[in-house]
Amino acid sequence: MRVLVSVDMEGIGGGVDAEDVRPGHSEYERNRTLITAEASAAVRGVCTADPGADVLVSEAHAGFRNLLPDLLDRRALLLRGKPKQDGMLAGLADDVDAAVFIGYHGKAGTGHSVLAHTINGAVVADVRCDGRSLGELGLNAALAGHRGVPPVLVTGDDTVAAEAAEAGISPATTANFPIFVDYQEDVFQAVKAAVSDDLAKALTIAGKHDREAEQQA
């Protein structure tokens, strides 16, 4: 199994203010350890579900240079910096079996949402596809689905959970886990369960390429 883990920053446990996610602030440096820990928890979850899995961790926040590479679980391949094809979903390809979104946030204009925006809060008020308003979660889920890669889990606040429900993605919300270290364990458990379920489905139905062929027929 090959899993792409896209890691944003505004939705990690403990992030509540712009200074928490903006380079140059002391709180940002602290939150770099938290985002790296949650990314590592996701890697552990995938590798526990499938010890032979390949895991791609794609940086998805700002300049794509936020995780601390030396602290990331060594079983992952880290994709960071620019330029990055497919941006937040760099690494998306036909051989990827599942996508996991870590630390995602609500779309622009969402009330009572932690650090809500879409792509660039100073520029973008809304993005619509066929008249439907989509945030970064919805846009990335649509891109993954278009490429035949199922999004299986998103972590973030309760507004992200609502967006995930609309997209049919399982959510794990930071609001339920106020102790950050505990939340990292919940990220691990949620990813393990989601990937295990996706792996089980893959073993009982036609392969992805076969399904694509059937859809095209």
CA distance 140 to 89: 7
> What is the residue-level pLDDT of the chain in tens, covering all 217 positions?
999 999 999 999 888 999 999 999 999 999 999 999 999 999 999 999 999 999 999 999 999 999 999 999 999 999 999 999 999 999 999 999 999 999 999 999 999 999 999 999 999 999 999 999 999 999 999 999 999 999 999 999 989 999 998 888 877 765 444 444 566 888 888 899 888 887 666 544 344 444 445 445 5
Number of domains in the chain: 1
Contact 5, 39 (CB under 8 A): yes
For the question of whether the overall pTM of this predicted structure is more than 0.95, the answer is: no
Task: Give the pLDDT of residue 207.
Answer: 43
Range of the domain at 59: 2-216
CATH code of the domain containing 148: 3.40.50.10780
Task: Give the pLDDT of residue 201.
Answer: 63
Please identify which of the residues 112, 117, 146, 209 carries the catalytic annotation. 117
In the annotation, is 117 catalytic? Answer: yes
